[in-house]
Amino acid sequence: MRNVDSPPEPSTKDGPARKSAVFDRWVSRYLDHLVLVAGRSANTLAAYRRDLGRYAAFCVDHGVSDPRAIQPPQVSEFLASLTASGLAPASVARCLSAVKNFHRYLVRQDEAKQNPARPIKTPRLPRKLPDVLSVRQMQLLLEQPGESDPHHLRDRAILATLYGCGLRVSEAAGLAVDDIDFSAGFVRVRGKGNKERLVPFGPSTQRALRRYLDSPARRDADSGARDHVFLSQKGGPLSRMGLWLIVRRYALRAGLGERVHPHTFRHSFATHLIESGADLRAVQLMLGHQSVATTQIYTHLDRQHLRRMHTAYHPLESGFRSRK
């Protein structure tokens, strides 16, 4: 079965999509700009390259070989083709964002007078609430790694840091020893766009990190990788995939199934803070969200928690529990 997020490249009656040297040159220049000026991550760059490749192929196949000559109807037709090919709404929205930013770049370079994608509205996406573990489930998960060897100490530190600081998987994998300030109880995190923020951590996270970093195997690691906090069994920096597999292994061991991934820790971190009365602005800063609107999704989860508490404990809703 074809992956709906990977539709076939546009084609014509004469065969595969044609390419345009002019189009490719401007896309390459824009991608260079994302790296050198905007400081975008490798993941963002790969997504933009893929989406703009689709866009270029579509435009050239429809007779437009220069992106500076594109008009709004052609952008709309491109989005319609993505939807017709079965691409998910979130992926269509991501493509539109890439196209808008690409044309905005051309305008700012004085190579185009208008952004043909600007009038196009982003498809409305269904608001999906993230998976969140309960406090009890999270405690069970954190207790899964043993303490019999250094790798177990590492895994305990990984789980504690993900939940204790609400880090993204890339942020945890890229954490350096110098980023941890044990005396102040803060960790310096490099998030999206290479933006830095300070996130506090508590005693339990501190204990897990200290025990791991002070372990003999960790101290004897290769000097070239020792600056990284989390190392693989071979002694090199732990990759994002390696970290993801560690989380999955312990989630399965805890009986929580395959729905748990590193981002589940981040969602649970934010939700549990808000349920306990934390200020929304403070949670925004700890998560590194640019807008508080992004953080507000966790207030929806908090309302769900309140509704469950109301149903469980209000006498009318809980069936008039007998009082003795």
Could you read off the pLDDT of 102-114 as tens digits, one per residue? 999 999 999 988 9
Section 299-310 average pLDDT: 66
Average pLDDT over residues 63-72: 91
- Our answer to whether residue 226 is catalytic in this structure is no
Among candidate residues 19, 151, 152, 263, the one labeled active-site is: 263
Indicate if 289 belongs to the active site. yes
User: How would residue 318 be classed by pLDDT, with cut points 50, 70 and 90?
Assistant: low
Lowest mean pLDDT among 153-162, 223-232, 241-250, 300-309: 300-309
Most confident option among 15-24, 218-227, 235-244 = 235-244
- Quick: pLDDT tens for 71-85: 999 999 999 999 888
Mean of all residue pLDDT scores within the chain = 84
Q: Is 218 annotated as catalytic?
A: no
Give the pairing of strands 180-181 and 15-16: unpaired
The one catalytic residue among 154, 168, 267, 272:
168
pLDDT exceeds 70 at position 306: no
> Which one of the listed residues 68, 192, 240, 261 is annotated catalytic?
192
Instruction: Decide if 168 is catalytic.
Output: yes
Residues ≥6 apart with Cβ < 8 Å to 306: none
Residue scoring higher pLDDT (305 or 69): 69
Mean pLDDT, residues 212-239 taken together: 82
Tens of pLDDT, residues 233-290:
888 889 999 999 999 999 999 999 878 999 999 999 999 998 888 888 899 999 998 8
Is residue 139 over pLDDT 80? Answer: yes
Which among 54, 154, 266, 267 is annotated as catalytic? 266
- Residues composing the chain: 324
Confidence of residue 54 (pLDDT cuts 50, 70, 90): very high
Nearest to 91 by CA among 123, 55, 61: 123
Closest CA to 172 of 261, 239, 110: 239
**pLDDT tens profile 197-210:** 999 999 999 999 99
Q: Report pLDDT for 316.
A: 66
62 noted as active-site residue: no
Rg of the chain's alpha carbons, rounded to an integer?
24
Task: Return the percentage of the chain with pLDDT > 70, whole number.
Answer: 84
Over residues 175-196, mean pLDDT: 91
Measure the CA dihedral 279/282/286/287, to 10°. 60
Residue of 148 and 198 predicted with greater confidence: 198
Q: Please confirm, yes or no, whether 261 is among the known catalytic residues.
A: no
pLDDT, average across residues 132-159: 91
